[in-house]
């Protein structure tokens, strides 16, 4: 295990994900944050925008213009918590020769860039750079992450959905063509932009689906489940917004190929039995966003329904943590040879 200390820069530090990244890195024993990049708050003290950090060492630093090339001279790792489409234009071979990059946008998440262009309507990244990017889901791709120069950090819904269904698809326990993912998200998933739709009074007492059949996380889930299935998999994915700050809850339906609960549990144990951040719940428990909030955990559970011959998997994670910032730090730990859980042993907040 490396015990060195590295320097980090955050682009997009004044969004919710950037703010959590800053807080996690503030506590990380082997990282020093050297720059808070922002487009909206340049020149303002970071700890007056994110007052949870008020008075903490280094957090009084003002937000800076986002200049990855210049930053690359000063830091060892660059986190891009920037809007979709920005990273594609920023990451070059020259940059990657100087710093390791962890991109939290979707720009490098797809093997097939035409899928990106179709679902995002944005110009895709350079093919060669994209080919080098590793999808940052440590539970599935740990070894590749260790040696990557560029990691594409997964989305929140996707981390939750892929980890939940992957073992059962891979082990041929469910019919992948019957997969339906019905998911709930807290409001922070919509970001910190000033929009009427995300005002307290609009969201409170509201539960609603959105982006039905068109949400951009759909093809990301499909790519990895297709990989598990060994054939193209198309799913239904319906996200919903519910009135809480954080959390993803995914309820995943599929038709069973058998009804052997032991085989299901064995499959989960095979893939996650030794994982530090995946908690397989017991048979009498369901996933609940409450019990993972503020941590890097994903909790997974399942119920077999003999009446319909379907399995109902369910899983919960914190969208800003395992669904974004803490997973990015988990990837960083792997890329720099640190203890994988270094700086990530947060106990979920309750109550």
Please tell me whether residue 304 binds a copy of itself under the rule CB under 8 A. yes
287 binds a copy of itself (CB under 8 A): yes
Separation between Cα atoms, residue 75 and residue 232, nearest integer Å: 40
Q: Is 290 in the site for a copy of itself (CB under 8 A)?
A: yes
Min dist CB 177 to a copy of itself, Å, is 9
Short-list 263, 323, 314, CA closest to 293: 323
- Assess 305 for contact with a copy of itself (CB under 8 A): yes
Give yes or no for residue 120 binding a copy of itself (CB under 8 A): no
Quick one: three-class SS letters along 15-52? CHHHHHHHHHHHHCCCEEEEEEECCCCCCCEHHHHCHH
**Sheet (strand 180-185) strand order:** 208-209, 236-241, 180-185, 248-255, 310-317, 298-305, 278-280
Q: Is 187 helix (H, G, I), strand (E, B) or coil?
A: helix
Find the shortest distance in angstroms from Cβ 301 to a copy of itself.
9
Interface stretch with a copy of itself, choices 123-131, 139-147, 158-166, 210-218 (CB under 8 A): 210-218
Q: Are 299 and 247 in contact (CB under 8 A)?
A: no
Sorted by sequence, the CB contacts under 8 Å of residue 308 that are 6+ apart come out as none
CB of 44 to a copy of itself, least distance (A): 12
Q: Does 261 bind a copy of itself (CB under 8 A)?
A: no
Distance from C-alpha of 27 to C-alpha of 9, rounded to nearest angstrom: 15
Give the number of other Cβ atoms within 10 Å of residue 200's Cβ. 8
Give CA angle at 111 (137, 269), nearest 5°. Answer: 30
Binding mask 21-60 for a copy of itself (x = CB under 8 A): --x--xx--------------------x-xxxxxxx----
The yes or no reply on residue 231 touching a copy of itself (CB under 8 A) is no
**Considering the rule CB under 8 A, would residue 119 count as an interface residue with a copy of itself?**
no
**201 is an active site residue:** no
Task: Compute the least distance from the CB of residue 60 to a copy of itself, in Å.
Answer: 11
Q: Which is nearer to a copy of itself, 94 or 347 (CB)?
A: 347
CB of 64 to a copy of itself, least distance (A): 20
Regarding 243 and contact with a copy of itself (CB under 8 A), the answer is: yes
In whole angstroms, give the CA distance from residue 33 to residue 29: 11
Residue number with CB closer to a copy of itself (36 or 141):
36
Residue ranges in 170-199 that form contacts with a copy of itself under rule CB under 8 A: 180, 182, 184, 186-188, 192-196, 198-199
Q: Which of 63, 156, 160, 201 is catalytic?
A: 156
The nearer residue to a copy of itself, 158 or 218, going by C-beta atoms, is 218
> How far separated are the first and last CA of the chain, in Å rounded?
35
| Residue 326, preceding peptide bond in cis (omega within 30° of 0) | no
Query: Which residues are catalytic, by number?
Result: 156
């Amino acid at each position: 295990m490396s015990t060195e200390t590295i320097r980090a820069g955050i682009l997009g530090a004044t969004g919710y994900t950037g703010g959590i990244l800053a807080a996690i890195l503030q506590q990380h024993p082997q990282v020093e944050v050297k720059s808070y990049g922002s487009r909206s708050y340049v020149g303002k003290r970071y700890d007056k925008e994110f007052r949870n950090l008020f008075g903490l060492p280094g957090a009084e630093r003002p937000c800076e213009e986002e200049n990855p090339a210049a930053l690359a001279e000063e830091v060892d790792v660059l986190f891009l918590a920037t809007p979709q489409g920005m990273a594609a234009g920023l990451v070059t071979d020259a940059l990657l020769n100087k710093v390791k990059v962890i991109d939290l946008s979707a720009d490098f998440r797809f093997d097939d860039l035409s899928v990106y262009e179709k679902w995002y309507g944005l110009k895709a990244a350079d093919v060669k750079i994209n080919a080098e990017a590793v999808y940052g889901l440590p539970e599935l791709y740990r070894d590749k992450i260790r040696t990557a120069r560029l990691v594409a950090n997964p989305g929140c819904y996707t981390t939750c959905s892929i980890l939940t269904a992957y073992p059962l698809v891979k082990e041929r326990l469910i019919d992948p063509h019957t997969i339906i993912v019905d998911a709930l998200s807290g409001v922070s998933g919509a970001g910190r932009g000033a929009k009427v739709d995300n005002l307290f009074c609009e969201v409170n007492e509201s539960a609603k689906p959105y982006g039905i059949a068109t949400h951009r996380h759909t093809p990301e889930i499909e790519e990895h489940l297709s990989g598990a299935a060994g054939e193209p998999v198309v799913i239904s994915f319906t996200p919903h917004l519910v009135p809480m700050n954080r959390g993803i809850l995914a309820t995943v339906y599929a038709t069973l190929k058998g009804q052997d609960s032991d085989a299901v549990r064995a499959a989960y144990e095979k893939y996650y039995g030794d994982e530090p951040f995946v908690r397989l719940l017991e048979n009498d428990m369901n996933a609940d966003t409450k019990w993972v909030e503020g941590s890097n955990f994903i909790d997974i559970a399942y119920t077999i329904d003999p009446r319909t011959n379907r399995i109902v998997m369910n899983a919960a994670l914190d969208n800003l943590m395992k669904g974004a910032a803490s997973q990015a730090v988990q990837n960083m730990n792997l890329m720099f040879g640190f203890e994988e859980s270094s700086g990530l042993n947060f106990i979920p907040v309750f109550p």
